[in-house]
Structure 1
Amino acid sequence: MSSSQDFVDYVVEQIGDAGCITSRKMFGEYAIYCDKKVVALICDDQLFVKQTEAGKAFIDDVKQAPAYPGAKMSFLIEDNIDDREWISELIKLTANELPEPKPKKRK
């Protein structure tokens, strides 16, 4: 099952206060970017945020799951997606801790 565009649009709107938020469809699912860094995935209409120490400290009850079979563990965000302030802060903390993306090599 792939994710709906409506769910992706809702998540992007909710986390809009975290920075420059974009989404990109990949393999039938979506990557969520904050300031050009991949901070989360949306798979099967579920939000999976990359694990960081700051994110772990921010989340009270951490639930971890892989976004897809064989993926690294991520923070599965279920109940707090509707709390715009909370989810934006989590995404901002996550983006701040992740390294800058590597520049693409020219062909």
Structure 2
Amino acid sequence: MVIKVYIASSSGSVALKKHQQSIVGFLEGNRINFQEIDITMLEEQRLWMYRNIPQDKQPEKGNPLPPQIFSDDCYCGDYEDFFQAKENNTVFSFLGLSSKPSVKDSES
């Protein structure tokens, strides 16, 4: 199972960049393996992302904005969904993971 985070590296939006950093930072901090996919560089991946976001999560106008999160090819959600899962302490189930990866405590 691969967690995929679709991002836009060349966005001018500060909020969008902060949302992307928040998700990537959480995944890195919890040692969750993930793949970062930059939709500004890969047209095919951008179109795949657009096609695979459920209709009820599509904006009324325009295209969905990154960050968007998938577990393999299953849609997990956008930043707002991630934020809610984080607030509710349910990120691992949100990502389709059974539990937090076991990490040895190195601060002894």
| TM-score under structure 1 length normalisation | 0.33
Greater strand share, 1 or 2? 1
- Structure showing greater Rg: 2
Greater helix share, 1 or 2? 2
| TM-score under structure 2 length normalisation | 0.33
